Amino acid sequence: MVNYKELGLVNTKDMFARAIKGGYAIPAFNFNNMEQLQAIVKAAVETKSPVILQVSKGARNYANQTLLRYMAEGAVEYAKELGCAHPEIVLHLDHGDSFELCKSCIDMGFSSVMIDGSHLPYEENVALTKKVVEYAHQFDVTVEGELGVLAGVEDEVCAEHHTYTNPEEVIDFATRTGCDSLAISIGTSHGAYKFKPEQCHVDPATGRLVPPPLAFEVLDAVMEKLPGFPIVLHGSSSVPQEEVDTINKFGGKLEAAIGIPEEELRKAAKSAVCKINIDSDSRLAMTAAIRQVFAEKPAEFDPRKYLGPARDNMEKLYKHKIINVLGSDNKLAQC
């Protein structure tokens, strides 16, 4: 077994407590490869922000669990090399779907895991989450549970319709499971196609689709039931239209791709929402940069020549999210 502390990682407990008190949210960025990891770590260090490196089940299979362990350790050392004496980096399993997967990640050095039993009947969700918590807490690993179902598709996570979190269940769930944070459903959605066109209205000034607002009344009710408890928002990419436009300009075909408005995420970040998940935005930034290189330099075949610009574009995106959306910049005094 590898304990995350041996890798220089931290769990989410202290950073969440500070985030709630300070009225900001910790960025939780999904990654699948080295370029994404480099961009995330560099952006976090340059903005002096704690950061959560998220790995889905699919990403773990893609990258290999052994390589991930060393990539996480390398991320900590890279942050120090960039000048951050005491980086706060979490390695988190996103949407774990079984006890066995969560246990395997904990045993391989993850400092935080999510067990997603939201698709199960309530009592089964409670039992599964509690089982993961009991194992994880032996090793000081933090656990995120989920109540409510998010629509959309991302890796293995797929649901056609969302179900808002029932505020009446959150006290019972948090108390019985012992989870450290709770992902809730208030209208966010996975993927780049979060809403159907008929759910949106058209902005007369820009001609772009505007999605329906998030259900902040559900968030307020949850916070009333669980004051000071760490809340998580999944499916919170904003799907930057400039990246979508670039992709489409250079041969892509993303039609009606739309995300969560950043002003709504800023509002959420000032509440008990202390972790906001972002995945699709970095995929779009990466793809846009690569497509542009291929279109403008069709003879190019050196991966460094197109993955380098992709990495730079993702770093720019991450910095923007940290500073202008989540407000987590300058929260590391020794970074």
Cα–Cα distance between 121 and 23 in angstroms, integer? 33
Q: Is pLDDT above 90 for 65?
A: yes
pLDDT, one tens digit per residue, over 239-252 is 999 999 999 999 99
Return the HEC string of 196-218. Answer: CHHHCEECCCCCCEECCCCCHHH
Mean pLDDT estimate for the chain: 92
Mean pLDDT over 82-87 rounds to 97
Euclidean distance between CA atoms 205 and 107, whole angstroms: 53
Q: How many CB atoms lie within 10 A of CB 287?
A: 19
- Model confidence at 331, in pLDDT bands (50, 70, 90)? very high
pTM of the model: 0.93
The confidence score (pLDDT) of residue 329 equals 97
Strands 273-278 and 189-190 turn out to be unpaired
- At 150 the pLDDT is 65
281 labelled ligand-binding: no
Within 10 angstroms of residue 224's Cβ, the number of other Cβ atoms is 10
Alpha helices in 270-332 (DSSP H): 280-296, 303-320
Rounded to an integer, what distance in angstroms lies between the CA atom of residue 53 and that of residue 67?
14
Which pLDDT belongs to residue 83?
97
Domains for the chain: give ranges and CATH numbers: 2-323 (3.20.20.70)
Summarize the confidence of residues 222-230 as an average pLDDT: 96
Mean pLDDT over 311-320 rounds to: 98
Confidence of residue 162 (pLDDT cuts 50, 70, 90): low
**Which pair of structure tokens corresponds to residue 319?**
């910095």
Q: Which of 57-61, 97-101, 108-112, 154-158 comes out lowest in average pLDDT?
A: 154-158
The predicted model gives 232-259 an average pLDDT of 92
State residue 216's pLDDT score: 93
Handedness of CA 60, 194, 272, 18 (dihedral sign): positive
The answer to whether residues 325 and 269 touch, using CB atoms and an 8 Å cutoff, is: yes
Question: What are 52's two structure tokens?
Answer: 């959560």
Tens-digit pLDDT profile for residues 290-302: 999 999 999 999 9
Given a contact cutoff of 8 angstroms between Cβ atoms, the answer to whether 270 and 24 are in contact is yes
pLDDT of residue 153: 46
The per-residue pLDDT for 141 is 98
Q: Kindly give, in sequence order, each residue whose CB lies less than 8 Å from that of residue 73, ignoring residues fewer than 6 positions away.
A: 7, 8, 109
Pair 189, 164: CB distance under 8 Å? no
**What confidence category does residue 200 fall into, taking pLDDT thresholds of 50, 70 and 90?**
low
Strands 142-147 and 112-115: parallel
Q: What is the mean pLDDT of residues 84-100?
A: 97
Q: What pLDDT does residue 235 have?
A: 86
Which one has a higher pLDDT value, 151 or 105? 105
Count other Cβ atoms within 10 Å, centred on residue 298. Answer: 8
Q: How far is CA 136 from each of CA 51, 101, 306, rounded to the nearest angstrom?
A: 20, 12, 40
**CA–CA separation, 266 vs 321, rounded Å?**
10
- pLDDT the model gives residue 163: 81
- Report which secondary-structure segment, H or E, holds 103: helix 99-107
Q: Give bridge partners of residue 182 from the DSSP assignment.
A: 145, 231
List the catalytic residue out of 14, 94, 155, 172: 94
Give me the DSSP letters along 26-47.
Answer: EEEEE--SHHHHHHHHHHHHHT
Question: Mean pLDDT, to the nearest integer, of 203-227?
Answer: 84
For residue 100, name the pLDDT band (cuts at 50, 70, 90): very high
* CA pair distance 280, 287, nearest whole angstrom: 10
Return the structure tokens found at 204.
Answer: 């007369």
Question: Residue 159's pLDDT is what?
Answer: 44
**146 is an annotated ligand-binding site residue:** yes
Higher per-residue confidence, 23 vs 158: 23
Is 172 known as a binding-site position?
Answer: no
Mean pLDDT value of segment 246-267: 92
pLDDT at 332 over 70: yes
pLDDT of residue 213: 80
Q: What's residue 148's pLDDT?
A: 82
190 annotated to a ligand binding site: yes
Q: Are 232 and 277 in contact (CB under 8 A)?
A: yes
The arithmetic mean of pLDDT across residues 155-173, rounded, is 75
For residue 305, what pLDDT is reported? Answer: 98
Q: Under 8 Å CB-to-CB from 268, ≥6 apart: which residues?
A: 25, 214, 216, 219, 233, 236, 276
Q: Does pLDDT of 265 surpass 80?
A: yes
CA 286 to chain centre: 16
Instruction: Confirm whether 14 is a catalytic residue.
Output: no
Distance of CA 35 to the CA centre of its chain: 17
Q: According to the annotation, is 119 in a ligand binding site?
A: no
Structure confidence at residue 158 (pLDDT): 46
